[in-house]
Chains A and B, each alone.
Chain A
Amino acid sequence: MIQRRTVLQRLIYAAGITAASTLPYGLVRLTMPEARADFSTHLRPPGALKDDLAFNSACIGCGLCGEVCPPRCIQFYQREGGDRANTPYIDPEQKACILCSKCMQACPTEALTEVPRNDVDMGVAQIDRSACYPWVDRGICGACVSICPLGERAIGFKFWNQYQPIVKQECVGCGLCVEVCPHPSLPIRIVKRSEGTVARHSV
């Protein structure tokens, strides 16, 4: 017959062992703090699962997507990010995606799946009209319009004879316009499609 005390002892041992075995995981959590990081300007690579939680659980952090990316725009949460640890992101202010689709082909998991170029949806560009040079009448720019790989369908000028850029619905959020836009004002950024193209602008 098993004594109640032995049962208790075993339970305590089991709890101790389980606690100790989570130590490596705890260590990793400590080295990857979530709080400090600001992810607001980060995009997931093209073809990513829409739900970020689903993306985290699908991505195994193999780095393959980064390793095939020709412009090396794919970065990884290396030192912070909590649950995002080692998953990829693109910061278009640094380097934007050229929509080559290599990462989608390379990804072994369902984190990135191949979608045609026009159906990529990393977000949508949004122009802050109180900071963009042509919109505030500080000269002619239009760099964003001329670089856009989707052309007139995604971004164009307000009227054919004006130089104020306007983003259209077919923008896929690659961020090339953000990369090319002259700093430091950076009036253009990529936001979630649900946030719309012009919703925030008053002009």
Chain B
Amino acid sequence: MKAKPLFLWRHLNKLRWLTLATVFSMLVLLPFLHVYQTYVSAHAYDLLAPQEKELYDTMEMLTRPFVKDPAEDLDAIKGNTWSGTFFGLKLSDPLAALGQMAAGMNLYTPFLLTALIPVLLTVLLGRFYCGWICPASFLYELNSNFAVLLRRMGLHTGRRHLDKRFKYVVLFAGLVLSMVTGSVLVAAVYPPAVVGREIYYAVALGGFGAGAVFFAVTLLFDLLVSQRGFCRYLCPGGALYSLLGRYRLLRIQRIVENCNDCAKCNAICEFGLDPLRDGFGQECNNCTACIAVCPTDALTFEIKLKDVGYQGYGHLGKRYQREHPADQPSKEVA
């Protein structure tokens, strides 16, 4: 009997795009809300310029059903994925905690505690942050789609393979440099932190900062050198998440009986992993794109501490069928 993955797994990829888009639009909306709040607390509607009035009216319309006093109540959700508050719950990126620890060379427990929930989730779910939440990931995935478009138009985009372990060196170098310079340098080269911040600068403080330049360079790197190259080879946060998620419990696994060796999973994997040969490893971010694309339901979620080793050719594939004629059921109705 062939195992059938839960029908839900196939649709998780859509949910994932929804979460990515939601996080990103929140990062755009929050600075506008802040600007609106500053207008409210200034009590000077009549002095606003016409566009400012427009912003005021739009935001008032959007938020009125939810808040009584916009100047105070809208403070419930603030910040970005680097560090933020969510209805009184303060959450921070584990890399923020680690980077700050390195820069100051001391422990500040209240801040470290804000990274506890993300750390626990990563230990259980692996590098899920990269695939499900990271606002930069949202832009990078759109960028890879753009690369596909360029390739269709006959332009070359980079598809180079580098050493995955390089990002651990970047992480290590970042922590050492933070220690030496006494400033949280990892924050400056960590795309999600950069994206959240730059959107805020652009909307509320009137203009992008230097981080936008850095982010543009990473986009170009992905286009010209390697697809999702920054996340795979350079991102210090990705490195930290890969390490934390090494013994994650939730893993994607191939059901070898269902697999027909079509290699669609390998083609769709943004991180260039090898689901076809059971190669997930600590880089897998559980994004479920491979599950969604598999035509024969051959990928599923398992709760396990370790990936299975290479299971051989998929049993529906031509090669396996040639080599094992005895195993083949006589034309079953599917």
Main secondary structure of the interface of B (DSSP, over half): helix
A79 to B193, CA, bound (A): 16
Contact B79 A62 (CB under 8 A): yes
Measured CA separation A17–B84 after assembly (Å): 34
Contact A64/B83 with A27-B217, A28-B189, A108-B114 known, Cβ cut-off 8 Å = yes
Q: Is there a chain B Cβ closer than 8 Å to A164's Cβ? A: no
Chain A: minimal CB distance from B258 (Å): 41
Residue A21, interface by CB 8 Å:
yes
Is A86 within 8 A of B169, CB to CB? no
Determine whether A115 belongs to the interface, using a CB cutoff of 8 Å to chain B.
no
Q: Are A64 and B207 in contact (CB-based, < 8 A)?
A: no
Q: Which residue of A lies closest to B210 (CB)?
A: A31
Residues of A with C-beta under 8 A to B182: 53, 56-57, 83
A137 CB–B CB distance under 8 Å? no
| Interface flags, A27-47, vs B, CB<8A=1, else 0 | 110011000000000000000
Report the contact-size class of chain B (Cβ under 8 Å from the partner).
Answer: 35 or more
Known contacts A62-B96, A64-B79, A106-B78: does B71 contact A28 (CB below 8 Å)?
A: no
When distances are taken between beta carbons in the complex, the residues of chain A under 8 Å from B41 are 70-71
- Name which residue of chain A comes closest to B186, CB basis: A25
Task: Find out whether the CB atom of B201 lies under 8 angstroms from the CB atom of A76.
Answer: yes
Q: Is A154 an interface residue (CB 8 A)?
A: no
Asked if B35 CB lies within 8 Å of chain A CBs, one says yes
B residues less than 8 Å from A62 (CB atoms): 79-80, 82-84, 92, 96, 193, 196-197
Structural contact, A102 and B75, CB atoms closer than 8 A = yes
Q: Are A84 and B35 neighbours in the complex by a CB distance under 8 Å?
A: no
Shortest Cβ gap from B28 to chain A (Å): 13
The minimal Cβ–Cβ distance linking A124 to chain B, given in whole angstroms, is 26
A3 close to B (CB within 8 Å): no
Chain A residue contacts of B204, Cβ below 8 A: 66-67, 72
Contacts of A109 in B (CB 8 A): 100, 108, 111
Given contact pairs A61-B187, A78-B207, A21 touches B170 in the complex (Cβ within 8 A) = yes
> Whole-angstrom distance from the CB of A102 to the nearest CB of chain B?
7
A60 touches B96 (CB 8 A): yes
Q: Is the CB of A108 within 8 A of B169?
A: no
Report if A85 contacts B (CB, 8 A): yes
A68 to B78, CA, bound (A): 7
Q: Can you name the residue of chain B whose Cβ is closest to the Cβ of A85?
A: B188
One of B38, B166, B201, B210 near A28 (C-beta < 8 A): B210
Report if A18 contacts B (CB, 8 A).
Answer: yes
The answer to whether residues A24 and B234 also contact, given A58-B108, A67-B31, A70-B71 and a CB cut-off of 8 A, is yes
| Chain B residues with CB below 8 A from A56, complex form | 103, 182-184
Contact (Cβ within 8 A) B183 A85 = yes
Q: Is A110's CB within 8 Å of the partner chain B?
A: yes
Distance in Å from the Cβ of B155 to the closest Cβ of chain A? 25
Please give, as numbers and ranges, the residues of chain B lying within 8 Å of A61 by CB-CB distance: 82, 184, 187-188, 193, 197
- Cα distance, A75 to B200, chains bound together (Å): 11
Please judge, given known A-B contacts A24-B189, A57-B182, whether A106 and B37 are in contact too, CB under 8 Å.
no
A27–B111 Cα gap in the complex (Å)?
28
Residues of B within 8 A of A58 (CB): 100, 103-104, 108
A60 contacts B78, CB within 8 Å? no
* C-alpha spacing A150/B184, complex, angstroms: 35
Contact A21 B84 (CB under 8 A): no
Given known A62-B96, A66-B204, A110-B111, contact A79–B185 (CB-CB < 8 A): no
Known pairs A58-B108, A60-B184, A109-B108; list 15 more (Cβ under 8 Å): A21-B170, A24-B214, A25-B188, A56-B103, A56-B183, A57-B183, A60-B100, A61-B184, A61-B187, A62-B83, A64-B83, A67-B30, A78-B208, A85-B187, A86-B197
Chain B residues proximal to chain A, CB less than 8 Å: 30-31, 34-35, 37-38, 41-42, 71, 75, 78-80, 82-85, 90, 92, 96, 99-100, 103-105, 108, 110-111, 114, 166, 169-170, 172-174, 177-178, 181-185, 187-189, 193, 196-197, 200-201, 204-205, 207-211, 213-214, 217, 234
17 contacts between A and B (CB under 8 A): A24-B189, A28-B188, A28-B214, A31-B214, A56-B184, A57-B103, A57-B104, A57-B183, A60-B187, A61-B188, A62-B92, A63-B79, A70-B41, A78-B208, A108-B90, A108-B110, A109-B100
Q: Which 5 A-B pairs have the closest CB atoms?
A: A78-B209, A31-B210, A62-B83, A57-B103, A83-B183
